[in-house]
Amino acid sequence: MSLRNLSNLGRTLWFRLALWYSAIFAASVFATFFAFYHTIISVVEDREDSDLLSEAKEFSNILASKGVAEVKAAMDIEAESEGVDKIFFRLADLEGQEIASTNMSSWADLGLGKSALKKLAKGDKNIFETIALPGRGYSVRILNTLIGAGVVLQIGLSLEDHERFVAVFKHIFSITMAAMVIIAALVGGGIARWALFGIEKVTATAQEISRGSFDQRVNVKAKVVEIERLARAFNAMLDRIDTLVGGMRDVTDNIAHDLKTPITRIRSSAEMILIGADHPKESISLAMTTLEECDRLLQMVNTILDISEAETGIMKLKRTGLDVSDVMEQVADVYQYVAEDKGIVIHRQYPKGLHVSADQTRLSQAVANLLDNAVKYTPEGNHIYLDAFRNNKEIGITVKDTGRGIPPEDLPRIWDRLYRGDQSRSEKGLGLGLSLVKAVITAHKGRIEVSSEPGKGSTFIMYLPASDMAGIA
């Protein structure tokens, strides 16, 4: 494996999780063994000290009942039994003068400790020491204690067995620790791989999508809740992107279709002007037609740009505190004359004091588009109702007409860009008005609802967050 691959491995989440798991597990095992080791050592040492004290008590009883000679004989027997290189006994006075001892050939360099004698003289009962002797591979545990008036007993016990046990324990511990770390690494790697399996699925799906397989989705039946949530969120994002891409494709097709007619007219008008018309009036008419078609194209492009800005969240809104009745009044005044020409009555039913924080130009644009459609699709002699009301923390703006209505099959698509139902194709329009209304209201953190019944009319209700202040939002 190259250094680059090793470097990349060290940066992977799988490797880091496995490393952390192994480190934590190894630390836990080490702490457990360490505590166990010290407990065992402490128990063994306490047991050895207890055995030395028991030996001293027996010799104290012999001294009290039978004298020093019997103590000397008992010491020799005990030393020979245990091994003269394993244990020794020595009797002395508080001045350090030796009274009797067992075979000291294996302990020639070991004398009576002056500090221990001083402590005994001051009244201390039992003095324990652990001493490392030159030339011996093991330490010695020594007990200095008084077994009679002015009689000091020194017992020395080789810690060879004890230290061999400790060495074996350390060896076993080292091997076990190494094995546990390896096992922990393997188990940690397996757990990390299992936990990250869903993420690898998401990554693989993303790579497939980047290669052009846009219909790919992640299996959401993951064994880990967090991975399942990630998969669902990823799939939802893909669905949203797919919808947007489909919408862009439809918009492109619709723009190509809707631009074809005005561009053809402009071209024909330009050709006629170039060829030369028979009368100046015809040239003026052709020029006016060209201007109208250009204006229509510009309006279409600008409206599409407005919708895109609102849908992507980059539309700049100049929010101020508004009374919706003022906005509706201004829009109603503009369409009043158009409605009167068709014999349509606009009923104004909006009260004062309903405030919102909104961009006045954009809100007026949204109300105007709904009212324009109402006037356009309402037959002569009918009615249009403008209303406003409070609904908890929202302000509702209603535009209701008594026109031809919208067929049920068209309702889900009326918000699509450039979509025009069969009944609306006979009227002039771009098919962008309702798309712009929804985009503007959504940009204001609002919502819009519609209900319609063919032959009886349609009702549009825009909801905006209510504002208690009429000043700056």
The one-letter amino acid at 38: H
The residue out of 165, 184, 217 marking a domain boundary is: 165
The residue out of 270, 287, 311 marking a domain boundary is: 311
Q: What is the CATH number of the domain that holds 345?
A: 3.30.565.10
Domain that holds residue 391: 316-465
Distance separating alpha carbons of residues 93 and 110, to the nearest angstrom: 16
H/E stretch holding 246 reads helix 225-275
Dihedral pair phi/psi, residue 171, rounded to 5°? -65, -45
**Is 172 contained in some domain?**
no
pLDDT given for residue 218 in this prediction: 67
pLDDT given for residue 413 in this prediction: 82
On whether both 43 and 76 belong to a single domain, the answer is: yes
pLDDT given for residue 471 in this prediction: 42
**Is 473 contained in some domain?**
no
| Contact between residue 418 and residue 430 where contact means Cβ atoms under 8 Å apart | yes
Dihedral pair phi/psi, residue 342, rounded to 5°? -95, 5
Q: What is the CATH number of the domain that holds 44?
A: 3.30.450.20
| Contact between residue 387 and residue 350 where contact means Cβ atoms under 8 Å apart | yes
| Contact between residue 472 and residue 364 where contact means Cβ atoms under 8 Å apart | no
pLDDT given for residue 473 in this prediction: 38
**Is 70 contained in some domain?**
yes
∠ at Cα 163 (159, 169), nearest 5°?
150
On whether both 363 and 423 belong to a single domain, the answer is: yes
> Three-class SS of residue 244?
helix
On whether both 301 and 322 belong to a single domain, the answer is: no
Distance separating alpha carbons of residues 43 and 53, to the nearest angstrom: 15
Distance separating alpha carbons of residues 397 and 386, to the nearest angstrom: 8
The one-letter amino acid at 370: L
On whether both 258 and 354 belong to a single domain, the answer is: no
**Is 290 contained in some domain?**
yes
Question: pLDDT tens string for the chain (473 positions)?
Answer: 444 544 555 566 667 777 777 788 778 878 888 888 788 888 888 888 898 899 899 989 998 898 889 989 998 898 888 888 889 999 988 888 888 888 888 876 677 778 888 888 888 888 888 888 777 678 888 899 998 888 889 998 888 888 888 888 888 888 888 888 788 778 777 777 776 666 777 777 777 776 666 677 766 665 667 667 777 787 787 777 777 666 666 665 566 556 666 666 666 766 666 665 555 666 666 667 776 767 777 777 777 777 777 766 677 889 999 999 999 999 999 999 999 999 999 999 899 999 999 999 999 999 999 999 899 889 998 999 999 999 889 999 999 999 888 888 888 888 776 666 655 544 555 667 788 899 899 889 999 999 998 888 999 999 999 987 544 43
Distance separating alpha carbons of residues 156 and 85, to the nearest angstrom: 10
The residue out of 282, 311, 340 marking a domain boundary is: 311
On whether both 321 and 264 belong to a single domain, the answer is: no
> Using H for helix, E for strand and C for coil, what is the string for 386-442?
EEEEEECCEEEEEEEECCCCCCCCCHHHCCCCCCCCHHHCCCCCCCCHHHHHHHHHH
pLDDT given for residue 422 in this prediction: 53
H/E stretch holding 463 reads strand 457-465
Q: What is the CATH number of the domain that holds 274?
A: 1.10.287.130
**Is 182 contained in some domain?**
no
pLDDT given for residue 324 in this prediction: 94
**Is 412 contained in some domain?**
yes
**Is 472 contained in some domain?**
no
pLDDT given for residue 13 in this prediction: 66
Q: Which whole-number Å values give the CA distances from 282 to 88, 172, 269, in the listed order?
A: 138, 109, 10
pLDDT given for residue 224 in this prediction: 61
Q: In total, how many domains does the chain have? A: 3
On whether both 342 and 449 belong to a single domain, the answer is: yes
On whether both 337 and 383 belong to a single domain, the answer is: yes
Distance separating alpha carbons of residues 350 and 373, to the nearest angstrom: 19
pLDDT given for residue 120 in this prediction: 85
Distant-in-sequence, close-in-space partners of 467: CB < 8 Å, separation ≥ 6: 321, 355, 356, 357, 473
Supply the pTM of this predicted model. Answer: 0.48
Distant-in-sequence contacts of 148-151, Cβ < 8 A, 24+ apart = 148/60, 148/63, 148/64, 150/93, 150/94, 151/63, 151/68, 151/91, 151/92, 151/93, 151/99
pLDDT given for residue 358 in this prediction: 93
Between β-strands 151-158 and 87-93, what pairing exists: parallel, antiparallel or unpaired? antiparallel
Q: Which two tokens stand for residue 263?
A: 């561009």
**Is 195 contained in some domain?**
no
Q: Which whole-number Å values give the CA distances from 170 to 30, 345, 366, in the listed order?
A: 12, 100, 82
Q: Which two tokens stand for residue 392?
A: 């908890």
Q: What Rg do the C-alpha atoms of the chain give, in angstroms?
A: 50
